[in-house]
Structure 1
Amino acid sequence: MRILFSNASLMWGGNEKWTLNAAETLASRGHQVSVAVRERKLWLERQKANQVNWIEFPFLNDADLRTILGLRRFIRQNKIEIFLPTRSRDYWLGGWAALGTSAKYVMRMGITRTLPNTIKERLRYSIWPDGIIVNAEAVKQSLIAHPWIKGDRIRVIYNGVDQRERWTQSATRNSQELLVLAAGRVESEKGFDVLIDAMALAVKQEPRLICEIWGHGDLVDSLNAQIERLNLEEHVRLRGFTHDINRELARADIAVSSSYREGISNFILESWSAGVPLVATSIEGSAEIVHDRTRGLLVPPGDAHSMSNAILELVKNKSLRETCIAGGKQAIATTHNWTAMAEKMEAFFLEIANRK
C-alpha cells in the first residue's frame, strides 16, 4: 500500500518514536511509506534504514494553507491510499488536506481525551476519519464516551518494540549502586516530581539507590530545585535527552513509569524488552497492560509513599523481580512487538480500503 504519515513535532517523544517505528516497519514489509514532517533532520538522524521518504512542510498553524495544499498535492500525485496523521495539529490540517482525494483518512491517538462538542471537534474526530487507531482500550473508551464519535471506526492496536534487539546488563554498571531509571519528556504529566519524593523516602532505608531521569522539557529547573531542597544531589540525577534509552536501561536495576496520564508508555515496553523490573502508576493505559505483580508493580498516581515501597520491595524480593521480568518479556514476545503491531495495522487498513 502507499501510506503517508504526518507528524509536525519539533521535539522528540513517544508519539514521534511510534511514528518512526510504524513507518519503518511497514516500509520493511513492502509498503511505500512517506512521512510529512516539519524538520527532516530530526528524523533522519534517528532512522535505522533508508526505506522511508521524508518530506518537509511548514505546519505553521491550524490554518496553514500552504501545508494543506502541499499535502493534498502530494496525496494526489503519489496516489496515497492511507493518510495517517499522528498529532493533534496534524488531525486538523490533515483532514482538510485529505478532502477531495481518494486517500482513506486514518488518525492515530495515544492518550485519553475529553473533547468539547464543537463543529471543529466533530469534523476532526467523527466526520473526517475513516478510521482511528488508538494504543489502549482506555483511549478508545475516552473517545466513545462522546456519543457523536463512531466507535466502530476505532481500532485498538498496542504499541510495539523491536524484538530483534537484545539488551544485556552493561559491563560498566556500578555494582555499588542500585539504579532506578525513568525517562520521558520532563513535564508535569510524567510525574517525575513524585518519583523524586519517593526517592527521598526510599534512600532512608536503602542508601545505595540512585535515580536517573532521562529527557528534556520545561520542568528541568523546577525538578533540580526539588532535588536540592530534599538534599538528594547524590541520589537523583537529571541526565537530559538520550537517543538510546535502551543503552541506559541495560545499566538499570529498576524502571519507573510515574505518569499521571498516558496511553501505552513506550518506556514500559522498552523496560520489559531490556529485562528490567518495573514500577508503574495505575493510570488507565498502564493498568491495562501491566498486570500487577506479574509484569510489574502498580501504584496509585501521585502517591510517593506507595512508589517508594514498591521500589524497595523489588530491591528486596528477587523472586518478585524475576517474575516481573519474565512477565514483561512474554508480553513483548506475544503482543507488544513491531510485527504484531504492523500486522494489525495492515488488517485495519485493508478493512478501511474495502469498506463501502
Structure 2
Amino acid sequence: MRTICFFNSVENWGGGEKWHFDTSLYMHQKGHKVLVITHEKSELLNRLKDTGVPAIGLKVGNLSFLNQAKIDKLKNILVEHQVGCIIINLSRDLKLAGLAAKKAGTEKIIYRRGSAIPIKDSVLNRYYFKNIVTHILANSEATKNTVLSNNPTLFPEENITVIYNGIDVDGFLSKEVNTQYYSKNENEIVLVNLGRLEAQK
C-alpha cells in the first residue's frame, strides 16, 4: 500500500489546517498509510502529536522552492515513505512539495483549493499546472468554477474534482452547548455567518 502524504506548511490554525488534521486522522483510523508533513512550529504538528498519525516537521518558507537542498531532502522523505499521492494545500507549498514529489516519482500530485479565488495566470503557475500537478481537489462547485477563470487552458477541467469538507454529524450533535449569545424574539429570523471578518470572506 502506497502512502498518502498531506503537505501543509502553515504555522497557525485555520480551515485548511483543520481539513488536513481531520482528513489525515480519519484515513489513518481507516487503515490507510498516511504521512503529514508540516512546519516544525505549526499548530497542526502540535495537534497531531497524540493521534498516532505519522508527522514530520520541517522548516519551510516562501522561498524554500529555490533551495535545492530542501527540495532533495523532501524528495528523499517522499521516497523513503513510499508516497504515491501527495495533497498540497497552498500555492507556496506547491512550489516546493510539487517539485520534490515530481523528482520522487510520486504518481498523484494533488493541489487542494479551499477558497473560491482564481489561480493567477503567471508564468510559474502555467509551468506547475501543466507539468507538475496531476489533479486539483476543490471544496465546492464555486471553488471549482473560479479555478480556471483567469486562464481556461491552465489545467484540464476533467481533472478537477469537488469533495466537500466532511462534518462529524454525531460528534457535532452530541456536544453540549451552554453559551447563549443572543435571544431572539418569537417571530424573528436570525441570519448567522461564520468566518473571518475580512474582505475575502
> Residue 168 of structure 1 corresponds to which residue in structure 2?
176
> Residue 245 of structure 1 corresponds to which residue in structure 2?
none
Distance 1:45 1:179 in 2: 37
> Residue 23 of structure 1 corresponds to which residue in structure 2?
24
Deviation string, structure 1 residues 56-77 (Cα, Å, up to 9, x no partner) = 1111233233332121001111
> Residue 159 of structure 1 corresponds to which residue in structure 2?
165
Distance 2:49 2:166 in 1: 16
Q: Which runs of 5+ in 1 are unaligned?
A: 181-205, 207-252, 263-356
Amino acid across the alignment from 2:100: A
Evaluate the alpha carbon distance shift between residue 79 and residue 48 of structure 1 in structure 2; reply closer, same or farther with a 3 A threshold: closer
SS where residue 18 of structure 1 aligns?
helix
TM-score (normalised: structure 2): 0.81
Amino acid across the alignment from 2:85: I
Is the deviation greater in 86-95 or in 140-149? 140-149
Deviation string, structure 1 residues 181-214 (Cα, Å, up to 9, x no partner) = xxxxxxxxxxxxxxxxxxxxxxxxx8xxxxxxxx
Per residue, is there more helix in 1 or in 2? 1
2:85 is the alignment partner of 1:82: yes
> Residue 47 of structure 2 corresponds to which residue in structure 1?
46
Aligned length: 187
Q: How large is the Cα RMSD of the aligned pairs? A: 2.5
> Residue 123 of structure 1 corresponds to which residue in structure 2?
127
2:58 is the alignment partner of 1:57: yes
Deviation string, structure 1 residues 149-192 (Cα, Å, up to 9, x no partner) = 2101100000012234122332xx46xx6179xxxxxxxxxxxx
Deviation string, structure 1 residues 284-309 (Cα, Å, up to 9, x no partner) = xxxxxxxxxxxxxxxxxxxxxxxxxx
1:40–1:55 contact (8 Å) kept in structure 2: no
2:113 to 109, 115, 119: 109
Distance 2:116 2:97 in 1: 20
Amino acid across the alignment from 1:106: I
Equivalence map 1:129-208=2 (5 Å): 129-145=133-149, 146-148=151-153, 149-165=155-171, 166-170=174-178, 173=179, 178=182
Distance 1:115 1:87 in 2: 11
Shift of 1:92: 0.8
Shift of 1:91: 0.9
TM-score (normalised: structure 1): 0.48
Evaluate the alpha carbon distance shift between residue 21 and residue 169 of structure 1 in structure 2; reply closer, same or farther with a 3 A threshold: same
Shift of 1:129: 1.0
Deviation string, structure 1 residues 121-153 (Cα, Å, up to 9, x no partner) = 112333311111010111111123222221011
SS where residue 100 of structure 1 aligns?
helix
Shift of 1:261: 3.5
Evaluate the alpha carbon distance shift between residue 45 and residue 115 of structure 1 in structure 2; reply closer, same or farther with a 3 A threshold: closer
Compare CA radii of gyration and give the structure with the larger one: 1
Distance 1:6 1:169 in 2: 34
